[in-house]
Amino acid sequence: MKKQLMKVRKAAGMACLLLVLLVQAAFGQVLPAVSGTVADSSGAPLPGVSVLVKGTQNGASTNADGSFSLQNVAGGATLVFSFIGYQAQEVPVNGREVINVTLQQDLQALDEVVVVGYGTVKKSDLTGAVASVKAEELATEGLNTVAKALQGKVAGVTIESAGGDPGMGTRIMIRGVGSLNNNNPLYLVDGVPVPDINNISPNDIASIEVLKDASAAAIYGSRAANGVVLITTKSGEAGKTQVIFNANAGVQRLAKKIDVLNAQEWASVSNAAHDAAGLPRLEIAEDPALLESGLDWQDEVYRTAPVQNYELSITGGNKGSQYSVSGGYFNQRGLVKVTGYERLNLRVKSETTKGRFRFGETLLLSQESWTKMPGGWGGQGGNPVGSAVKMIPVFDIYDTTAVGGFAGAYGPVLNVANPLAQLHLEDIRNRSTDIVLNFFGEVELLPGLSYKLNLGYNNTHGYDYDYERRYQVGTLFTHQTNDLSEDRSHRRLLMLENTLNFTREFGKHSLQALAGYTMQQNRLRTLWGSAIDLPDGIKVLDAAASNPATGGNLYESALLSMLGRVVYSYDSRYLLTASFRRDGSSRFGDENRYGNFPSIALGWNISNETFFDSFSQAINRLKLRGSYGVLGNQEIGDYLYSAAIASNINYVTGADQHKWFGAIQTAFADPDIKWENSSTFNIGVDLGAWQDKLTFTADYFIKRSTDVLLNVPIPGSTGAVGNPVVNAGIIENRGLEASLGYSGGKGDFNYDVYGTISAINNEVERLGTGTQQIFGGQPTHHGSSTTLTQAGGEVGAFYLVKTDGIFNSEEEVQAHSKNGTLIQPNASPGDIRFVDANGDGSISDEDRVHAGSAFPDFTYGLGFNAQWRNFDLGLFFQGTQGNMIYNGFRQDIDGMNLEINYSKATLNAWTPENHTDFPRAVINDPNYNTRTSDRFLEDGSYLRLKSLQLGYLFPAQALERIGAGSLRVYLSFDNLFTITGYDGYNPDLGRTGSILNRGVDYGHVAYPLARTANLGVQLQF
């Protein structure tokens, strides 16, 4: 009996061993091909289904018959079947060569939710103009800020860079310019308002929603006139803990240099200019042959700069609690020597559900540090970028005998500072430490009814440090003492929100209602100190010998609000959204402290109508929507409704000449100023074809801003030192925006193409008294304004004196006259002929006429992504068309009227023997050829390959030894090339400050754009 039992056991063991070996053989073998078909629940074939070997890039798409075929599939692999609108399936191969799959419709996917103010709305019920960008659309970018990653990807959103200055932000405008003050949108990170989003790591973001019209944004009332940007950070997911490590490192190079003269060329042009003016030549230029090429100051200032980024995140949780923790370090050294930027990020986010209760928090910590360039030291070269272009190439860099060790300009030349001396003799550092905290608790009071408490906190500590050493740089720049200034600021925001949400579906009706009461308080305290004459090497204020000074201030404001919204849907066909918000702001007087901001929107899901069934195979989604609402803008300074009183206005009186302490009102104020209101009408269409393989969205809008706040001039006899701020303007923006996308594939190759385009027309309907004009856009240290804002035109339109060619003979000069009087009496052959637009017989700023606009005819973006097996490729192009740029650099270096370096174009200057379209060289410029005119206005259109990325995902089998879930390496390039006719460093101007400076390339504050190459790795465990 025992022997028989032993035989049975032995036989069973052999059978099990054989089974294991057979399974291993089946699973371990590589099948030459796996094929099959994919159908829906009715048995109809599904074309375009993605079939992917899990953990690899080996994939294919089903053809028109729903068939697919994959090569070289491991017998133990798993296939992932996915298709828009259907539930994804994971099917083990188990050694099979034929696999047929039926996909079930995913109702939840069809009702994908979109984040809107104070909640979410089903995408099918959305009636507003909302653009959504998901995390995967940002993940492949090598860019370091959220705004730069968004550029060109959202229709109707204009994002202009601030050049290549490390860590600098961007100018973001949603649907044009609606104010002469602050045009920045409202930013909210996980529900907390923040001043900007430059300190947010793109890898921490789950989605970005841009609320563009009143229906979407009116729930934010007085802060939403410029649009709203909602950022939702990544949350944890139930399941196995995941560890993700991302790293990339690269180099930055100067994308473009300004083409200027070498030493010999400069001396030749300088001598020609002096000879033409009848003035003696400069001593340093008398013999050009002895100078050789001299210094290229741009080569001395710029460098190849490294950039690196490291991020680690851990996510996980269970059904009741999820968490996500991440940390990052970013370091970017600037193209300009000395400059740089560093950022540290830490994020903690968790959420817990227990019965009827749900609560969670988000904590974002960041610290940013900048090392910046100094200004122009009072000279006319501007910052080191401007000085590097204008500095004469015959001067030296160093002088060991000089205080500070640097040489500089000398003699009768313009006061342009040695740019290397500027960078090394003044130390400018800024630091910002930011905390964003959001905590929420939610309880379900009744089925479908919940109460939510949301607490928000934003705390920012700023620190600015500026230490200027003593120096003697050439003969034109002397600084005899070591000086120090330090500024500190503390900004705090507190927010408390109470909201009730009600959701109910009954029959064909769906209702979502929101009611809320919110409070927000802002507080800013500033403190500064400065002193001069510090001992060498000691950099503290208390060590200064003279001129200590201190100051500080406090600014406070508050916002109290009530809000409500109703979202109604009947049979998923007819949609209604209505919202209302009432805001009370301390920034306005008692009479106008409160404002009401309503909106209403209607939608029609045409594709859900029965008569549309015959089209549903081709067009699965078609929606029309329209909205109207009123938004507000309260982003002005505090206390503008109240006249300021200046203290310490003291005077001496009486026989004993004793001092009386006094105070006086120095400016007038309008106590009745009120909100800037923006009424927006929007009509749009959303379309999806072939199960959303093709998607299309288009919107037409009219955005009319009334009660625009501006300074209205008053007579100087009033004694006021400034003009009061009043509501006296109307600005209208009309625009059309569209986005288009297509996804497809064949066999192992899958791709998607997407694009956006926007066209906006801006007009000022009323301004001030009706005839008021606002000038702006200073182009150079000495040039007059270039832009004019007035009723009937756009904001910041270019108004310039027009040119009409070159005088090629004395006869042409004499012929340019009126009533026998020369219009340009100081002109000679070779000078520019200007147009006497007002017909008064002379040329002056009164002859300025409309010459162009900084507003593009349209902006666009075009992207392409492709995957073939384990390889992926991403391209993104972005650009503008039809906008103009005033080139302030050229006004200086094309002039030949100042003792600076000149552009290469001056080598082609007009001479009696060589008639060209470039004016003659003459140092005193008697005809004023360098006046602010359309001579320096250029086409700013451009097309840029903004990003190119090539990646490779390692096969899952290759990662088993290290226990990794996935490993991707990539090579990326940013700003690889730019096609443009603009001669400056960068046509993508983002000059900060007044909107009236838009499109003006002011060389004093320039920083060129970098071309960047990065090598990166993405590792997941």
User: Do 88 and 117 belong together in one domain?
Assistant: no
pLDDT at 26: 41
Q: Give residue for tokens 């300004």.
A: 258
Q: What percent of the chain has pLDDT over 90?
A: 54
What's the rounded mean pLDDT across residues 360-376? 93
pLDDT digits (tens, 9 = 90+) for 264-287: 999 999 999 999 999 999 999 988
pLDDT digits (tens, 9 = 90+) for 528-552: 999 999 999 999 999 999 999 999 9
pLDDT digits (tens, 9 = 90+) for 942-999: 999 999 999 998 887 777 777 778 889 999 999 899 999 999 898 987 666 678 888 8
pLDDT at 896: 93
pLDDT exceeds cutoff 90 at 139: no
Q: Which of 310-324, 763-777, 805-819 has the lowest mean pLDDT?
A: 763-777
What is each CA distance from 346 to 188, 313, 328, 365, 433, in whole angstroms? Answer: 18, 10, 7, 5, 12
What is each CA distance from 591 to 672, 673, 866, in whole angstroms? Answer: 7, 9, 59
Run of H or E including 112: none
User: Do 217 and 160 belong together in one domain?
Assistant: yes
Q: What percent of the chain has pLDDT over 70?
A: 94
- Burial class of residue 611, CB neighbours in 10 A (0-12, 13-18, 19+): exposed
pLDDT exceeds cutoff 50 at 24: no
Q: What are the structure tokens assigned to 597, written together?
A: 């901001």
What's the rounded mean pLDDT across residues 672-689? 90
Q: Is 592 helix (H, G, I), strand (E, B) or coil?
A: helix
For the CA atoms of the chain, what is the radius of gyration? 33
**158, 634 Cβ separation under 8 angstroms:** no
Alpha-carbon gap, residue 404 to 479, rounded angstroms:
10
Q: Which of 130-134, 812-816, 893-897 has the lowest mean pLDDT?
A: 130-134
Residue 86, domain CATH: 2.60.40.1120
**785, 777 Cβ separation under 8 angstroms:** yes
What's the rounded mean pLDDT across residues 899-921? 95
Residue 752 CB contacts under 8 Å (≥ 6 apart), including other chains: 741, 742, 743, 744, 864, 865, 866
Nearest to 226 by CA among 1011, 995, 997: 995
State how many domains the chain has: 2
Q: Is 994 helix (H, G, I), strand (E, B) or coil?
A: coil
* Residue 102 belongs to domain spanning: 34-106
Higher pLDDT, 45 or 586: 586
pLDDT at 400: 94
Q: How confident is the model at residue 297 (pLDDT cuts 50, 70, 90)?
A: very high
Q: Is 334 helix (H, G, I), strand (E, B) or coil?
A: coil
User: Do 228 and 117 belong together in one domain?
Assistant: yes
What's the rounded mean pLDDT across residues 835-839? 94
pLDDT at 25: 42
User: Do 124 and 232 belong together in one domain?
Assistant: yes
User: Do 213 and 128 belong together in one domain?
Assistant: yes
Alpha-carbon gap, residue 24 to 55, rounded angstroms:
20
**Phi and psi (nearest 5°) for 662?**
-130, 170
What's the rounded mean pLDDT across residues 790-795? 90
**Cα dihedral 150, 151, 157, 162 in deg (nearest 10):** 120
Q: Where are the alpha helices (DSSP H) in 720-834?
A: 810-815
pLDDT exceeds cutoff 70 at 777: yes
pLDDT exceeds cutoff 50 at 848: yes
User: Do 58 and 137 belong together in one domain?
Assistant: no
- Residue 281 carries which DSSP code? P
Residue 141, domain CATH: 2.170.130.10
Residue 667 CB contacts under 8 Å (≥ 6 apart), including other chains: 643, 644, 720, 721, 722, 724
User: Do 120 and 232 belong together in one domain?
Assistant: yes
pLDDT exceeds cutoff 90 at 814: yes
pLDDT digits (tens, 9 = 90+) for 620-677: 999 999 999 998 888 877 877 777 777 777 777 777 777 777 777 777 777 888 888 8
> Where are the strands (E) in 634-748, listed by range?
645-646, 651-653, 658-660, 664-665, 676-689, 694-706, 709-711, 725-727, 729-746
Q: What are the structure tokens assigned to 300, written together?
A: 């001395």
User: Do 114 and 217 belong together in one domain?
Assistant: yes
Q: Which of 74-78, 489-493, 866-870 has the lowest mean pLDDT?
A: 74-78
pLDDT at 65: 77
pLDDT at 652: 77
Residue 173 lies in a domain: yes
Q: Is 566 helix (H, G, I), strand (E, B) or coil?
A: strand
Higher pLDDT, 433 or 634: 433
What's the rounded mean pLDDT across residues 425-449? 94
Residue 44 lies in a domain: yes
pLDDT digits (tens, 9 = 90+) for 478-535: 999 999 999 999 999 999 999 999 999 888 999 999 999 999 999 999 999 999 999 9
User: Do 120 and 233 belong together in one domain?
Assistant: yes
Residue type for 862, please?
L
What's the rounded mean pLDDT across residues 344-359? 93
pLDDT exceeds cutoff 60 at 369: yes
pLDDT exceeds cutoff 50 at 16: no
Alpha-carbon gap, residue 90 to 72, rounded angstroms:
18
Alpha-carbon gap, residue 524 to 554, rounded angstroms:
6
What is each CA distance from 86 to 41, 59, 65, 93, 692, in whole angstroms? Answer: 10, 18, 17, 21, 12
What's the rounded mean pLDDT across residues 280-307? 92
pLDDT at 673: 84
Q: Diameter of the chain by CA atoms?
A: 137
Last residue in a domain, options 67, 85, 106: 106
**935, 298 Cβ separation under 8 angstroms:** no
User: Do 233 and 116 belong together in one domain?
Assistant: yes
Residue 627 lies in a domain: no
What is each CA distance from 908 to 265, 894, 950, in whole angstroms? Answer: 11, 11, 44
Residue 43 lies in a domain: yes
Alpha-carbon gap, residue 131 to 116, rounded angstroms:
11
Higher pLDDT, 935 or 227: 935
pLDDT at 11: 47
Residue 950 lies in a domain: no
Residue 192 lies in a domain: yes
Alpha-carbon gap, residue 59 to 71, rounded angstroms:
9
**Residues forming a β-bridge with 76:** none
User: Do 195 and 207 belong together in one domain?
Assistant: yes
Residue 41 lies in a domain: yes
Residue 495 lies in a domain: no
Last residue in a domain, options 90, 106, 122: 106
pLDDT at 166: 87
Last residue in a domain, options 77, 106, 135: 106
What is each CA distance from 903 to 115, 159, 807, 879, in whole angstroms? Answer: 52, 30, 22, 27
**688, 742 Cβ separation under 8 angstroms:** no
pLDDT at 582: 94
Q: How confident is the model at residue 29 (pLDDT cuts 50, 70, 90)?
A: low
User: Do 97 and 142 belong together in one domain?
Assistant: no
**Residues forming a β-bridge with 822:** 817
**809, 824 Cβ separation under 8 angstroms:** no
pLDDT digits (tens, 9 = 90+) for 95-122: 888 999 988 766 554 456 777 888 888 7
C-alpha 937: how far from chain center: 25
